[in-house]
Structure 1
């Protein structure tokens, strides 16, 4: 694990192409408990409360999440920088359209498109520029539209991944970090990059782009028959919320 320089979308796409098959296997087979039991329920519950006339899954990955929602949407689009993930998503989803590009590029190509709901799940900490990405998301939303988002928890993720005590880490800074990708019950040999941002930067960036935080949740592990809490931390690893486009 190490601090690195800011990476380009091409470099990030290469990382996600390399891990695409492994991530699909983890998610499709229920190996990623956090995704399956913590993140997905929040997204599904949130989309049940929003207008799905026009839905964008911004950073759709392999499309597993979108495949659970697309039947409830009048029109749905998935976008992702990984060609491998888009290929998987196209085979998995039945009615959605797809575009392999960044959120920023998609907003430039679709200036007239105004979505009623955008899902941005585990994406905002993985883009080169948080400001540019949120600005593009805001442009893609119609007035009073909803942005449903999930991120790694800015305060607790550094503790969970073990870098909060590194000499190069400072909570108040935005820091690109390269590490071997892992989930709660499996480690991999694939390197991916995420950027730590302090919580205030997310909040200010939403505000500066006309996005009002309507709800915010710290997603804790939930005990059930299929999810063992014994090896889970007693703090939230994920932060989630819904923003409304004001103007």
Structure 2
């Protein structure tokens, strides 16, 4: 576990290029209980309720969630800065569209028209520039809705056992490099996320015209006696026009 004041975005993309094949195997083989039982069901239930005809899946990874969203909407686009992830997504899904891009890059395209729904599943805490990606989400879903899931900033550091380490301050934005693992498996690779206090997320959403309509603390799939606190947060927001 390492803390950094900053890190290069290209390095983070290379991490995900390395992780992508394992991550796709995890999800496709139902080896990530948090994804299977908590995150994907929350997104899909809310997406169905949004009655969206067009959906963009930001930070789609290898596209497994994008494929599920395609079953519920007429037009679905998955974007991710990891080229390896997008190659894998295209190999298993020939219906959805996939492009190598960040939210900021896609939102800046002249021909980009707003989507009814923008989804960002466990993405915001992987972005070095929070305001940049939140502003892009507001543009991508202008007049529509946004669904977000993030690691719960109050309890994620406790769950992964770094809240007590020197250099960690809940109220400070901190780049965290940690082993890539799920609750049950470790793979010898590293992944980077950014710890931010919850207030920072909410202020950024408000600043960029995303009005929070629902915020839900989501427990992991483990028993209460194993970990009694929520590990994730699900946020639904309305994007201004």
TM-score for the superposition, normalised by structure 1: 0.93
RMSD after superposition:
1.4
The correspondence for 2:229, drawn from 231, 235, 241, is: 235
1:203 corresponding residue in structure 2: 202
2:151 corresponding residue in structure 1: 152
TM-aligned CA deviation for residue 43 of structure 1 = 0.6
- Structural mapping, 1:1-247, within 5 Å: 1-110=1-110, 112-143=112-143, 145-222=144-221, 229=223, 232-247=226-241
* Post-superposition CA distance 1:36-64 (Å, at most 9, x none): 11111101101111132110000000111
1:225 corresponding residue in structure 2: none
CA distance in 2, matches of 1:221, 1:180: 19
Listed as ranges, the gaps of 5+ residues in structure 1 are 223-227
Does the CA contact (< 8 Å) of 1:221 and 1:232 recur in 2?
no
CA distance in 2, matches of 1:102, 1:10: 12
CA distance in 2, matches of 1:205, 1:233: 29
CA distance in 2, matches of 1:79, 1:110: 17
3-state DSSP of counterpart to 1:109: coil
TM-aligned CA deviation for residue 7 of structure 1 = 2.3
Aligned residues: 241
CA distance in 1, matches of 2:136, 2:70: 22
TM-aligned CA deviation for residue 229 of structure 1 = 3.0
Judged with a 3 Å threshold, the aligned counterparts in structure 2 of structure 1 residues 32 and 124 are, in CA distance, closer, same or farther, namely same
Listed as ranges, the gaps of 5+ residues in structure 2 are none
CA distance in 2, matches of 1:221, 1:179: 19
